[in-house]
Amino acid sequence: MSKVGAPEKLIIDGKRLDGRGLEDFRKMDADVHVLKHAQGSGMFSFGATKSVVGVFGPRTFHPRRLQKPKEATLRCKYFMAPFSTEDRIRPGHSRRGTEISKVITEAFSSVVIVEGFPKSGIDVFIDIVQASASTRCAGINAAAIALADAGVEMKDLISSVAVGKVDDTIVLDVGKAEDNYGQVDFAVSTIGGSDKFVHMQMDGVVSREEFSKMLSLAVKGCKQVYEKQKEVLRKKYGGESNE
């Protein structure tokens, strides 16, 4: 049974409603050092979805009772700006934002090197300023750029994409209509453009064969995102982006 208001078909003759092929991204854009007062910052967008991230730290961590004696505490906070969607979002914290913040913190905890910064904290503020599907993926990609810009030592960058199942077809980079009316949305993040996964979240049900195909497509997409991230960092600083 189709959802109310859903288009009759989301894929017609191998093309999606926005004209993309099944494995095509929306226009990807990225930038580095976009905020004047943050120690590091980055921007990443998939089409109309745009995230801006600011990083502060390592700096003294508060509250002091939660300080770690031998390493820094990493905190990633994900927010949707009230003006980011067509219908104004209520300002402040939300259950969804809290869940995504926790997931992103866990993903970056696998690559950020926190040893050597006792009793300190690294804060990553992820703001979605425009939302049109794949917001957490855009946020993760911008956060990786911002952390590198801040000089925070990492094993490598994290890259993220959303693959989906639409009209019984597997597609890369889920768009707004596909997110609203598609069958499955699967957000995946990898380290260094490899097949080392640090984050997976799926809404929907797929077969084992479909899951395998979605993973393969996600790895392919993450490699393209990784190249985009490295490109903007090299352009800004020269040399390798993940030193």
- CB-based contact 135:48 (threshold 8 Å): no
Domains, in order of start, for the chain:
19-237 (3.30.230.70)
Q: What is the pLDDT along the chain (243 residues), one digit of tens a residue?
A: 456 567 789 999 999 999 999 999 999 999 999 999 999 999 999 999 999 999 999 999 999 999 999 999 999 999 998 888 776 666 667 788 999 999 999 999 999 999 989 999 999 999 999 999 999 999 999 999 999 999 999 999 999 999 999 999 999 999 999 999 999 999 999 999 999 999 999 999 999 999 999 999 999 999 999 999 999 999 999 864 443
CA–CA distance, 31 with 101 (Å, rounded to integer): 22
CA–CA distance, 197 with 192 (Å, rounded to integer): 10
CA–CA distance, 169 with 214 (Å, rounded to integer): 10
pLDDT in tens, 191-224: 999 999 999 999 999 999 999 999 999 999 999 9
Per-residue tokens: 109 = 């905890």
197 burial level (CB within 10 Å; 0-12, 13-18, 19+): middle
Q: What is the CA radius of gyration of the chain?
A: 18
Q: Quick count: other Cβ atoms within 10 Å of Cβ 79?
A: 21
CA–CA distance, 165 with 174 (Å, rounded to integer): 9
- CB-based contact 127:45 (threshold 8 Å): no
Token pair 């914290």 is found at 93
Angle at CA of residue 67, ends 66 and 68, nearest 5°: 115
CA–CA distance, 27 with 13 (Å, rounded to integer): 21
- CB-based contact 96:107 (threshold 8 Å): no
